[in-house]
Amino acid sequence: MDHDVISGPRGSAIERDQTDPLAPVRQAFDLPQGVVYLDGNSLGPLPKAVPKAMAQVIERQWGATLIKSWNDHDWINLPSRVGEKIAHLIGAGPGQVICTDSVSVNLFKVLAAALRLSARPAKILSEADNFPSDLYLVEGMNALLGAAAPAFEVAQTDALLECLDESVSILLLTQVNFKTGAMHDLAELTARAQAVGALVIWDLSHSTGVLDLELDAANVDFAVGCGYKFLNGGPGAPGYLYVASRHQGSVSQPLSGWMGHAQPFAFSQGYEPAQGVKRFLSGTPAILSMTALDAALTVFDGLELAQVRAKSEQLGSYLIHLVESIDGELELISPRDASQRGSQVSFRHPLAYPIVQALIEADVIGDFRAPDIVRLGFNPLFNSFADIEQAARALKTVLMTGGHLESRFSAQKLVT
Ligand SMILES: Cc1ncc(COP(=O)(O)O)c(C=O)c1O
């Protein structure tokens, strides 16, 4: 058997792809020819079902039936319908998930709801390594609350358990770290937080669609997640929020717009929240964006998330193996143990930005995260083992030829 430094026994990626039960799912995506897309953790690619569904809603509904579509095509209940589809992917029973707004806005709503629900003197615990937007939102909420603001502690990850004591009323965590891909044990931390009397809010932005989540089984209190990453709902797709049934009778949230009202079209004085998770709606749903997400979710029909997760672990381990066999300069910062890692692998390198730009020019699209991280994400629904091999090969070429040292690769763009 022929041998090369990237793939080991040549053909191992092809063999893996041939026996991969998820390989046919790639056909559900409209991926540009020749591109290895390792950024589906940031913006999922276009599912083929989306343009058709969008055209239908734009021309036959918005165009043809105008405002009557809110009733005739049940636009008004789209947030619940899409929410229920997402619920299937995160181990949530009916009536607990709604599709709406961005992750940031949803997080504000559930933070405030958890704060109102929690009986004890309030303290929010999060981690310094959390996605900054999540921490900014606590800062924003606390600025609004002034003297009534809860205490806010931001722990280093290795000190998190130490800080999780009876003084904490809300534990706010992102399950998969956006930079390193390191993954928290959701069930274990939920149990620990609840054992000290705290409520838990999980940000599942980098988990939904690639991990085999079981929110009900883990007794999670609140969660938020993203529609445009592994759910492939398109740029700026709405996110979702999860509120456990047991809290729904007693929670309220401050963005009390009319869509969360019990009877929005009664136009009555005074806010009366809708029953259930619907009270977490605020304004008019973005029907076109939600239609794209709704159609994108059909890609998951008939798939087992456990199978998706298993392939994700294999893709990551394969990438680590290949990259480490070619280069000593890239420092792995993701967990080597696949069970502790989300669906991405990250490496540290002082020239990470130009390396990523040179890779993109070679049709291998990953991203850079400040200050020095090459981040390569994969979605088992469309990424193949051959993709991983091609990415490692491109990385080797860039590093060996010094392609990334060309000055044009260092000019930083607005979005990295
Ligand atoms: C973990 C995490 N939380 C929150 C956000 C913010 O999401 P949005 O821009 O939809 O508010 C992101 C965005 O990438 C994220 O990765």
How far, in Å, from the CA of 226 to the mean position of ligand 1?
7
Evaluate if residue 416 carries a pLDDT over 90. Answer: no
pLDDT value of position 281: 98
Q: Is 206 in the pocket of ligand 1 (CB under 6 A)?
A: yes
> Cβ(250)–Cβ(229) under 8 Å?
no
Is the pLDDT reported for residue 7 higher than 60?
no
* Residue 54 placed within a domain: no
Higher confidence at residue 11 or residue 12?
12
Last residue of a domain, one of 300, 335, 366: 300
Say which CATH number the domain at 25 has.
Answer: 3.90.1150.10
Residue nearest to atom 8 of ligand 1 (CA): 103
Cβ of 226 below 6 Å from ligand 1: yes
- Residues 38-67, mean pLDDT to the nearest whole number: 98
* 274 and 321 belong to one structural domain: no
Spatial CB neighbours of 5, under 8 Å, sequence gap ≥ 6? 325, 326, 396
Same domain, 140 and 188: yes
Query: Is 121's pLDDT higher than 80?
Result: no
Does the pLDDT at position 3 exceed 60?
no
Specify whether 284 is located in the same domain as 312: no
Band of residue 11 on the pLDDT scale cut at 50, 70, 90: low
Q: In this structure, is residue 192 part of a structural domain?
A: yes
Report how far residue 338's alpha carbon sits from residue 330's, in angstroms, rounded to the nearest whole number.
Answer: 19
- Whether 133 lines ligand 1, by a CB cut-off of 6 Å, is yes
Q: Tell which one of 205, 224, 241, 255 to mutate to probe ligand 1, the residue whose CB is within 8 A of the most ligand atoms.
A: 205
pLDDT of residue 6: 59
Helices (H), 90-204: 103-117, 132-145, 160-163, 186-195
Nearby residues of 253 by Cβ (< 8 Å), 6 or more positions away: 109, 110, 112, 113, 260, 279, 280
Task: Give catalytic residues, as residue numbers.
Answer: 131, 203, 228-229, 375
**Residue 23: predicted pLDDT:** 98
| Residues 222 and 113 occupy one common structural domain | yes
Residue where a domain terminates, one of 300, 320, 352: 300
- Per-residue pLDDT band for 250 (boundaries 50, 70, 90) equals very high
Is 307 a pocket residue for ligand 1 (Cβ < 6 Å)? no
- Residue 125, pLDDT > 60, answer yes
Q: Is the CB of 238 under 6 A from ligand 1?
A: no
First to last CA, the chain: 41
The answer on 110 and 257 residing in a single domain is yes
pLDDT, position 120: 74
- Whether 174 and 261 share a structural domain: yes
Q: How far apart (Å, rounded) are the C-alpha atoms in residues 98 and 291? A: 14
151 lies in some domain? yes
Of 116, 181, 224, give the one whose Cα is nearest residue 337: 181
pLDDT of residue 403: 84
Mean pLDDT of the chain: 95
What is the best residue among 226, 344, 367 to mutate for testing ligand 1's pocket, by most ligand atoms within 8 Å of CB? 226
Give the lowest-confidence range in 204-213, 331-340, 360-369, 396-405. Answer: 396-405
227 Cα nearest atom in ligand 1: 10
Residue 69 lies in a domain: no
Tell whether 129 and 236 lie within a shared domain.
Answer: yes
Instruction: Answer yes or no: is the C-beta of 134 below 6 A from any ligand 1 atom.
Output: yes
Determine if ligand 1 sits within 6 Å of the CB of residue 228.
Answer: no
Residue ending a domain, among 261, 285, 300, is 300
Structure token pair of residue 203: 């940000």
The residue whose CB lies within 8 Å of the most ligand 1 atoms, and thus the one to mutate among 102, 108, 131, 174, is 131
Cα of 105 from ligand 1 centre, angstroms: 10
Span from the CA of 23 to the centroid of ligand 1 (angstroms): 28
Give yes or no: residues 268 and 390 share one domain. Answer: no
Q: Which residues lie closer than 8 Å to 370 by C-beta, 6 or more apart?
A: 416
Q: Is residue 160 part of a domain?
A: yes
Q: How much distance in Å is there from the Cα of 6 to the middle of ligand 1?
A: 34
Q: Is residue 58 part of a domain?
A: no
Task: List strand residue ranges (DSSP E) for 189-309, in order.
Answer: 199-203, 222-225, 239-243
Domains of the chain: total: 2
Distance 183 CA to ligand 1 centre (A): 16
In a domain, 67, yes or no: no
Average pLDDT over residues 36-61: 98
Q: Of 133, 203, 140, 149, nearest to 171 (Cα)?
A: 203
Query: Is the CB of 289 within 6 Å of ligand 1?
Result: no
pLDDT band at 8 (very low <50, low <70, confident <90, very high): low
pLDDT band at 2 (very low <50, low <70, confident <90, very high): very low
Asked if residue 174 has its Cβ within 6 Å of ligand 1, the reply is yes
Residue 331 structural domain: 3-46+303-410
Asked if residue 225 belongs to a domain, the reply is yes
Is there a single domain that holds both residue 97 and residue 37?
no
Q: Taking the C-alpha atoms of 364, 235, 45 and 298 in order, what is their torsion angle to the nearest 10 degrees? A: 160
Render pLDDT for 363-414 as a digit per residue (tens, 0 to 9). Answer: 999 999 999 999 999 999 999 999 999 999 999 999 999 888 888 888 888 8
* Percentage of the chain modeled with pLDDT above 90: 91
Q: Categorize the per-residue pLDDT at 63 as very low, low, confident or very high, splitting at 50, 70 and 90.
A: very high
Domain of residue 160, CATH code: 3.40.640.10
